[in-house]
Amino acid sequence: MSLSLSPNTRIGFVGLGNMGSHIAANLSKHISANNLPNLTVWNRSKGKYDQLRSNPNLDQDKITYAEELKEVIENSDVIFSMLIDDHAAQEIFSQFFDYLRTQSQAQTETKRREVIFVDQSSLKAITSGKLAEQAKEVGSTYLACPVFGRPPMAQAAKLLIISSGPSEAQEKVKQLLKPVIGDRLIDVGEDVKKATAIKSMGNMVLLGWIELLSESYALGDSIGIDPKIFDEFLQKFIPAPPLLAYSNTISKGIFPSGGGFSVDGGLKDARNMISLGTDLGHPVSLPTIERAKANMERAKEIGGKDQDWSSLAIAIREQAGLQPYRDGTNGGKGTSQ
């Protein structure tokens, strides 16, 4: 097997959300720069196509906007996906695998078509394992390659990629991962469950940090510490920009939707974190994550599902006897509408 992609390799992308739209745009730029076949994209809501269509840096002649999902599997040899949750992933991949199964019945073994699936969704480890087995059954390969970073980092191709799956397939698509999508890549081996487990564990660190930050700011607000001063202290004390971005958000009390990771997304990931040990046969108690999950559920009740997940801070403020949202923040939305 060749360990590099053919210049005729066709690439598809499914899932144009806050992260996926930027990743697809960067793949499109790579395709144009290297004169590869068109990128075929699909999203359930076709309104998401507008962000790509309005991007002046993209060659629209090199993008095919699919009306139906099957157009992606019909016209792609490598398919990237960034899907909202396990249910969506299982639904989408089931259609892909059914198509390949039907096609293989009409082909000889030597002509069976192999597709490499590069899934960048945040899924349960057990789901990734099942998808890998199902892909193998239809003569294809599933790679779990989740990413770390917020939408601005996705736009700048500065994501951290956790790569897993059969080594030959990983080697083939590596040129499409780094530097096209991210600037750092960690290969965790052939077991795809490890990549999605690390994704959950990494998100645990972020969620635990947000919970701790929120408690610290609620304490400071209760005893008269200026949140701007405490944020300045953290910025100088802890040189970790991905973590400090949340300090700045919580100190201002503004949790806009669309710019990062939503409460609903955070709740989905918290459930994945809590079930990870049990799913893999080793239950582990995660009290910090349980508490953060409860606070996100309350934040959702107060301000809705589309707020940034760091809005769990409003639940902790409420518990401290403070108003959920800081004065002058327009209910955590920032500038008045």
CATH number at residue 60: 3.40.50.720
Same-domain check for residues 43 and 185: yes
The last residue of one of the domains, among 135, 162, 190, is 190
- How far apart, in Å, are the Cα atoms of 272 and each of 148, 200, 204? 16, 7, 10
Instruction: Tell me if 335 is assigned to some domain.
Output: no
Q: What is the 3-state secondary structure (H, E, C) of 266-329?
A: HHHHHHHHHHHHHHCCCCCCCHHHHHHHHHHHHHHHHHCCCCEHHHHHHHHHHHCCCCCCCCCC
Active site residues: 199
226 and 93 within one domain: no
Domain identity same for 32 and 177: yes
Q: Domain of 211: which CATH number?
A: 1.10.1040.10
First to last CA, the chain: 57
Specify if 334 maps to a domain. no
List, in sequence order, every residue forming a beta bridge with 187; answer none if it has no partner. Answer: 163
Whether residues 177 and 45 share a domain: the answer is: yes
Asked if residue 179 belongs to a domain, the reply is: yes
DSSP count for the chain of H helices, then E strands: 13, 9
Backbone torsions φ then ψ of 107, nearest 5 degrees: -125, 155
CA distance 265 to 296: 10
**Location of structure tokens 């060749």:** 2
Residue pair 122/196 in contact by the 8 Å Cβ criterion: yes
Same domain, 63 and 159: yes
Tens of each residue's pLDDT in the chain, 337 residues: 456 788 999 999 999 999 999 999 999 999 999 999 999 999 999 999 999 999 999 999 999 999 999 999 999 999 999 999 999 999 999 999 999 999 877 765 545 689 999 999 999 999 999 999 999 999 999 999 999 998 999 999 999 999 999 999 999 999 999 999 999 999 999 999 999 999 999 999 999 999 999 999 999 999 999 999 999 999 999 989 888 999 999 999 999 876 678 999 999 999 999 999 999 999 999 999 999 999 999 999 999 999 999 999 999 999 999 999 999 998 888 764 3
Q: How many residues does the chain have?
A: 337
Does 107 lie in the same domain as 145?
yes
- Residue 119's H or E segment, with its range, is strand 116-119
- Residue 99 is which amino acid? Y
Domain for residue 291, yes or no?
yes
Examine the domain organization and report whether 156 and 296 are in the same domain.
Answer: no
Residue 19's SS3 state is coil
Same domain assignment for residues 158 and 263: no
Has residue 162 been placed in a domain? yes
How do strand 11-14 and strand 39-42 relate by DSSP bridges?
parallel
- Classify residue 5: in a domain, yes or no: no
119 found inside a domain: yes
Total domains present in the chain: 2
Q: Which amino acid is at 201?
A: M
Sheet containing strand 63-65, strands side by side: 63-65, 39-42, 11-14, 78-81, 116-119, 141-144
* Whether residue 230 sits in one domain with residue 171: no
| Residue 167 and residue 204 in one domain | no
Secondary structure letter of residue 111 according to DSSP: G
Domain containing 15: what range? 11-190
- Whether the Cβ atoms of residue 70 and residue 46 lie closer than 8 Å to each other: no
Q: Is residue 4 a part of any domain in this protein?
A: no
The verdict on 17 and 151 lying in the same domain is yes
In this structure, the answer to whether residues 112 and 138 fall within a common structural domain is: yes
